[in-house]
Amino acid sequence: MKLNIRLPLLSLLLMLLTNIAVAQNYQIERVEPLHWWVGMENPELQLMIYGDNIGSLTPKIDYEGVSIKRIQKVENDNYLFIYLNVAPGTKAGSFDIQLLDANNQPVLNYSYTLKEREENSAHRRGVNSSDVLYLVTPDRFANGNPDNDNVEGYADKKDRSDDYGRHGGDIQGIINHLEYIEEMGFTALWLNPVLENAMDESSYHGYATTDYYKVDPRFGSNRLYKKLSNEAEKRGIKLIMDMIMNHSGSNHWWMQDPPTSDWVHYPEEYQNTNHRRTTLHDPYASDIDKKQFTDGWFVKAMPDLNQDNPLLADYLIYNSLWWIEYAGLRGIRHDTHPYAGEEFMSEWTCRVMEEYPNFNIVGEEWGVNPLILAKWQRGSKMPTDFKSCLPSLMDFPLQVSLIESLVEEENWDSGFIDVYETLTFDYAYPAPNNLVIFPDNHDMDRFYRQVNNDFDLYKMGLTYVMTMRGIPQFYYGTELLMSNEKSHDHGEIREDFPGGWASDRSNAFTGEGLTDKQKEAKTFVKKLLNWRKDNPVIHNGQLMQYTPNHDGLYIYFRYNEQKTVMVIFNKNEKEMKIDTKRFYERLDGYRQGKDVITGNTYSLDNLVVPKRSAFVLELK
């Protein structure tokens, strides 16, 4: 009797041990996206499951409204790609993804969650010409949590003495100073990338992603990033995420165990891109030049992703959608836009805009030819062999022309004529008012240096940016005359914002320790930005410019049915009297103009502009 009892118990024990042993051969390390939502426009969802021997298993799901469309196994047995259909009407909740072995026996379960979307999520309004963007390099703005300056497992430690090291700025520091950003008049916040950059050195800039679903712990956490978005929204500030589809970081976790042999270009032998973006549009370009541009690595620390692999293409697209939905984003600034190639850039932009038709994506095409940029903008009628759904671009041609107009001597073919003629190419853009205009950014010399540290030119240039068509963007510290002594030195350009660290001698947030000129600059920017915020005539009014007569003057008007604004620039070393008869088209019915900056009122019959200055006149 005792023997009969022990034998079944022994058999049961052996079965349990066998099952445990089988289960121990499998391990789920990652499921991405981390979760999803019901009610998305596209019911399809790609799941990437990663872990030991996962690829040999077969998934099974039993949840009403969710079905498996297809299973994609790859050459690396540690990956399994599942495409789900989340039918309209599916209820939010959690369900088990059951993984079965070759004998159809369950060996692993993973609980996956579908969440409810925020109300009107699909119809969120993206950044537009009523906004002004404030660009921040998070590591260099403010240290709100010194406890995360150094994190175990991350090699790149805090060292403020190293221009290319980490300085300790973080998301909490930005949250702490949202009031400053709001009071200055900025209505949108673009952060350089905040996702994990577990690189050995120079990781502060964020452009070498090592985990697409994780905020770098030295900046904070996913939850804190979402809090930043929520707190910014309360102040009327929209959050823009900096994304990179072209490349990851060389320390990305998948580089040690890629799903497929073609996950990145040139995995065995490094090949650098030639950076010749124009090859994509050159009718005479060779295939090898185009291939070297799109497939070559940006730098050695940034492997070039192969978006021709449909699994990787889908992975990147779903990741973008996940962050928009999770963090409540109002825009994406897309780094190195052309480098990922026309076909994928078409698919990525179109699928994002299908989900969020009122959203905005700003592409970085660092070219000085407006015709090249125009081909990328949604609705372009330029000759092209691809469809782009990209709503906006960084207006580099206008930025370059603005600097030239300010620093060059006035002549027939130099000076203000540069910026005038660049604007004439607006005919090529489907939506020039949706371009992002800027005096500088994180990749170029500070604006103050570009205008030779000339305060008058500085004010003229910023007046232009704040009154011209498009969406203005300021780099943090431009409002304080921040400059850089060493030309094109990125570490110095991305200098710490004064007052962001407790030990700082000056504090831009309070004004303590700033020079008189810095205070004047800050007040100037603040006044004009807050005026712009309340004036739709600048957001979407029409523009009329008058040809410069190489006399150091440049004049344009912004106008709608309710209001007309006259903007005048005088680069001369003497005051200039304006003959207003030339501008009868726009001045008819007006007799006076009130300067937005000084509050002074001027007669249009005797209009004299002080030397080296700009007027922004509200006409009456």
User: What angle in degrees, to the nearest 10, is found between the helix axes of 396-407 and 455-467?
Assistant: 150
Residue 597 β-bridge partners = none
CA distance 132 to 475: 11
The order of strands in the sheet holding 106-115 is 36-37, 106-115, 93-100, 58-61
Asked if 392 and 190 touch (Cβ cutoff 8 Å), the reply is no
DSSP track, 502-526: TT-S--TTT-TT--HHHHHHHHHHH
CA distance 178 to 509: 10
E strands in 548-600: 553-559, 564-570, 576-578, 592-595
Residue 302 β-bridge partners = 299
Choose among 327, 304, 336: nearest CA to 195: 327
Q: β-strands 613-619, 58-61: how paired? A: unpaired
Contacts of 483 (CB under 8 A, 6+ apart): 446, 448, 449, 453
Choose among 400, 463, 425: nearest CA to 615: 463
Question: How many residues does the structure list for the chain?
Answer: 620
562-599 exposure pattern, b = at least 16 Cβ within 10 A, e = fewer? eebbbbbbbbbeeebebebeebeebbeebeebebbbee
Choose among 290, 288, 292, 272: nearest CA to 280: 290
Q: How many CB atoms lie within 10 A of CB 75?
A: 11
Asked if 171 and 219 touch (Cβ cutoff 8 Å), the reply is yes
Q: Which of the residues are catalytic?
A: 335, 364
Residues 577, 581, 585, 590, Cα dihedral to 10°:
70
32 φ/ψ angles, rounded to the nearest 5 degrees = -135, 140
Local structure of 472: helix, strand or coil: strand
Residue 82 β-bridge partners = 47, 71
Contacts of 50 (CB under 8 A, 6+ apart): 28, 29, 30, 31, 32, 78, 79, 80
